[in-house]
Structure 1
Amino acid sequence: MSYLTTPTGLTRAPTGPAPLGVGVPGFAHPLLAPTEWAELLRCCRGAGTRGVAPVHWAVLDVANGPGARPDPHCMPAVARLRETGVRVLGHLDTGRGARPFSELISDAHRFLEWYRVDGFWLDRCPTDRTLLPAVRKAATCLRTLREDTYLVFAHGSHPCPGYAESADQLVTFAGGWSDYRFSQVAEWTADYPPERFCHLVHGVPRSHLDEALRIARWQGAGTVYLTDRRAAVATGTAGDAWESLPGHWDAFVSRIGTGVSE
C-alpha cells in the first residue's frame, strides 16, 4: 500500500483534531434523485448522534450552474438542508480557468438570489501557477458577495500551494479507487490542517471502505465522499459517479460517525 511510503518530495500529512466528515459533490436534480436528497436530509438531521457522520457541505448543481430561472424543486430542497446547519455550495464551472470571469460572477449572483447558498464549489479548478492570479481574483470577488462565503476549489489533484491561500478547502483527489489506493500526498499539504482538504473516490467496494478511510486520514483529508458507483467511461469525467446514492451509504456514514482506527 504505497500511501504508507514516503518517496522524494512527498510525505505523510499530519492528522489533526478536526473530525472526518462527508462532502457531497452533487446529487442529481431532486426530481431525478428524490431518494438521494431525502437520505442526505436524514443524515444532516441526525449528524452528531452516534453512528451518523457530520455532513460538511453539499453541492447544488441545477444545470451545470444555477440554471436560467429559479427551480421550484431545488429551492425547498436547499432550504431544508440549510435549516440543519449544513452548508450548501453553488456549482460554478471554471472550465480549468478558461471560463470568463463575468460569467462566473453572474452565476454566483443567481445562486445567491435564488437559493441563498452558503458558498461555492469551483469545479474543474486549474492547478498550475500561471492561472493562480485569475482564480484569486474570482475568489476575492466571490467573498464580497456574502458574509462568510465558503469556497471549495475542486481541482481533483494537488495544485500548486498558492491556491490554498484563497480557498477554505481544496479537493486534492477526485478519481477511482484503483488510483486512490496507491496515491500519494504532496509534501506542502503537511503545513495545513485536515479541514483544508477533501478526497472524492468512486468505485470503492464496500469491503474496502475501512482502508479508504485510513488512506484519507493518513493523507490528512478532513472531508471525504466514497461511493461504489463508477464513472461512465463514455463521459470521461467522474461527475455521474456522484449523482446517485452510494450502494453502501449507510456503511460509509456509520464508519465515519463511529470513527475508523488508524
Structure 2
Amino acid sequence: MKRLKTTLAALALAAASPFAAAIEIIVPAYFYPSWMPSQNEWKDMTAVAGQGVQITAIMNPGNGPGTASNSDYVSAVNAFRAAGGKVLGYVYTCYGVSHCTPEVPPTRSTADVLADAQRYAAWYGVDGVFLDEMASQAGTLPFYKTVSDGLRAAHPGWQIVGNPGVTPAAGYAAVTSRLMSFEGSFSDFVNGPFLGQLTDAATTGAIVHGVAGVAQMQQVMSLARQAGLGAIYITDGTLASGNPYLHLPSYWQAEVLAAAVPEPAQAVLLAAGLALLAGAAARRRARG
C-alpha cells in the first residue's frame, strides 16, 4: 500500500506539470567545443537538446564571430542544431553608444553589429543573435531599431534576443523576440524587485549566477515558473571567478529536468495511469 501511495504521488506530480509554462533554457555557452569529449561541454548540451525542453546556446568564438570560420564550432553547432537545439550568435553593442569595455574598440556602429550578425549567418547558419551590452534608456532605442530592422530584413526567421540585464524603457520589446531583463545574483533574483515588475513575462528571460547547489536552483526555477518567465539560465558560476559562463553548472542535468515539461500526450497517459491506480486503491479498500 505504501508503494502504491508513492506511485500515486509521483504520477500526480508529473500529471500536474503540463499546466506549468514551459521554460526555454538560454545558455551563454562561452566555452570552446574541444575535440576532446571529456572537455566538450557542447556535447553535454547536445545530449539533452530537444528532450522535453527547448535549449538555446549562445556561441561566442571571440567576443563575437571572430575573423574566420572555426571548424570546431561548425561541427558543434551542426550537431547541436541537429539534436533539436537552437544557436544564437553573440554580438556586443556597447549600450548603443560608446561605452564598450577596454578590450574592444571604443565605439560600435549599427553597421558593425549587422556585419557580425552576417558573419554568423555565413559561417555557422545560426538561428538568431544575442545582442549583449544592450542599453535600456529611451534615448538609445533608435540604435536598436536600426539593428532590428536590418536583421529582420536580412533574416526574417531569426530570433533576436536582447540582454539589457535590467527592465528597459518601453519600446525595447518591439525590437526583439525576447528580452533578458535580469542578469544578476541568486540573492537579487529572489529578493529584488525584478519578478514584481514583470509586464510581459512570456517574452522575458533571466540569467541568474551564483546559484549554489540544486536546492537554490530549484528555488529559482520555481519562482520563474510561478512568474511565467519564458526563458531562464541558472548557474553556480560566480562573478568572483572572472566569468560565470565559462562552464555549464555542476547541476546541469538537474536544471534541464527542472525546466522540462511533458508533452500533452504524456500528460494524458499520466492522467490515465493515475485514474487506474486510484481505482485499484479503492477496490483494495473495499475488500478490507
Q: TM-score, normalised by structure 2?
A: 0.75
Preserved contact between residue 25 and residue 58 of structure 1 (Cα < 8 Å): yes
Q: Which of 10, 17, 29 pairs up with 2:32?
A: 29
User: Which protein has the larger Cα radius of gyration, Structure 1 or Structure 2?
Assistant: 2
Aligned mates of 1:57, 1:254 — CA distance in 2: 15
Q: Which of 252, 256, 273 pairs up with 1:253?
A: 256
Q: How many residues align?
A: 231
Matched, 1:205 2:227: no
Matching residue of 2:83: 84
Residue 245 of structure 1, CA deviation: 1.4
Aligned mates of 1:246, 1:19 — CA distance in 2: 20
Aligned mates of 1:251, 1:105 — CA distance in 2: 37
Aligned mates of 1:164, 1:188 — CA distance in 2: 15
Residue 205 of structure 1, CA deviation: 1.8
Aligned mates of 2:217, 2:114 — CA distance in 1: 38
Residue 188 of structure 1, CA deviation: 6.8
Give the percent of matched residue pairs that are identical in Structure 1 and Structure 2.
Answer: 28
Aligned mates of 2:25, 2:82 — CA distance in 1: 17
Higher relative contact order (Cα pairs below 8 Å, separated by 6+ residues): 1
Deviates more, 1:24-33 or 1:148-157: 24-33
Q: Which of 128, 131, 138 pairs up with 1:122?
A: 131
Provide closer, same or farther for how the CA distance between residues 136 and 56 of structure 1 changes in structure 2, counting only shifts above 3 A: farther
- Higher helix share goes to which structure? 2
Preserved contact between residue 66 and residue 110 of structure 1 (Cα < 8 Å): yes
Matching residue of 1:73: 72
* 1:70 partner SS: coil
Deviates more, 1:146-155 or 1:250-259: 250-259
The list of structure 1 runs, each at least 4 consecutive aligned residues, that deviate by more than 6 angstroms after superposition, is: none
Matching residue of 2:46: 41
Whichever residue aligns with residue 35 of structure 1, its letter is N
Matching residue of 2:281: none
Q: Over residues 92-127 of structure 1, what are the superposed CA-to-partner deviations in whole Å (9 max), with x where a residue is unaligned?
A: 100111211111111111111100111100001000
Long gaps (5+) in structure 1: 1-15, 49-53
Q: CA RMSD in A?
A: 2.1
Preserved contact between residue 184 and residue 219 of structure 1 (Cα < 8 Å): no
Aligned mates of 2:191, 2:197 — CA distance in 1: 19
* 2:40 partner SS: helix
Provide closer, same or farther for how the CA distance between residues 219 and 17 of structure 1 changes in structure 2, counting only shifts above 3 A: closer
Whichever residue aligns with residue 56 of structure 2, its letter is W
